[in-house]
Amino acid sequence: MSFEQCHHITSFMSGFNKTWFFAGGWAIDLFIGKETRQHKNIEIALFRKDQLHLKEYLKEWDFKKVIKGEFYPWENEFLDLPIHEIHALNKSNGAN
């Protein structure tokens, strides 16, 4: 992962008309302006109320919800707490 990939995500998400932001390690590195460690993924966050909007925006992607450390298909149900993590796979290029 690199700063360039974060810029690509920013460009890609520019058409998503809801609030979203970088989370995890990249959020810190982007804030301080330097990469402090190697990253294996890019995490983004958004408000829970906007989750189905994200799923529609990325309708060609494959989504998994995480429940107690296990992956399950995420259909079109609204995810309430304690579920707070999803993984998305862009089926067209295999990127998570």
Would you place residue 1 in the very low, low, confident or very high pLDDT band (cuts 50, 70, 90)?
low
Q: What's the confidence (pLDDT) of residue 20?
A: 97
Mean pLDDT of 20-24: 95
Q: What's the confidence (pLDDT) of residue 90?
A: 86
Taking alpha carbons only, the member of 19, 39, 17, 12 closest to residue 28 is 39
Taking alpha carbons only, the member of 62, 59, 60, 67 closest to residue 85 is 67
Alpha-carbon distance 62 to 51, whole Å?
A: 14
pLDDT per residue as tens digits for the range 28-86 = 999 999 999 988 888 999 999 999 999 999 999 999 999 999 999 999 899 999 999 99
pTM for the complete prediction? Answer: 0.81
Reported for 59-67, long-range contacts at CB under 8 A and 24+ positions apart, including other chains, are 60/90, 60/91, 60/92, 61/88, 61/89, 61/90, 61/91, 62/88, 62/89, 62/91, 63/87, 63/88, 63/89, 64/88, 64/89
- At which residue do the structure tokens 């529609």 appear? 56
Q: What's the confidence (pLDDT) of residue 94?
A: 53
